Structure 1
Amino acid sequence: MVDELVFYSMIGKQIADLREKQGLTQDKLGQRLGLSRVSIVNIEKGRQKPTLYLLYTLSQIFNVNIFEIAGEIGVNASYAPIKSGKDDFTNKDRSDLDQFLKKD
């Protein structure tokens, strides 16, 4: 089973990658969301859990489908690599996420 911190770290990595791809600093993204830079850092590090509404808002800012941020969680029990052009997930990360998604 995947550790909750690992799970949110993986989402945080996607957010950081998409933010960088958009050329936004953590401070600028925080301003657009009404959050502090520290909150953005904590989300990207997996220490702060983004709400579903925050993920939706991020998808609008980044002009991507929400599943590109959170994977296909809740849609099926398999991990589809995120098509953001940068994949920092290790095989262990993918395995942990697969196990988490398959648990009852």
Structure 2
Amino acid sequence: MSRICELTGKGRQTGHNVSHANNKTKRVFLPNLQNVTLISEKLDRSFKFRVSTHGLRSVEHNGGLDNWLLKTKDDKLSANALKVKRELKKAAAEAEAA
């Protein structure tokens, strides 16, 4: 399983460990991923995602899962999140038609 946030697309970064003698060795910075269940208010369902803690705070700040998915570009979302986004758009279109 890859170390990429399903909602923000945040992945691993590379950098250096720097010693007191200023020796530099390669290292990897991994995102803090958590398995969470987020609830969609419009669909009345819950979905499981693997999200970074930064992404989780961002989702809550932007008004929940529904608003986050509709505002985020498709290239940053995982396949699972894109599927939920399509369901949201379909539900919104059906609500307008009714």
TM-score, structure 1 normalization: 0.29
Higher helix share: 1
Higher strand share: 2
Larger Rg belongs to:
2
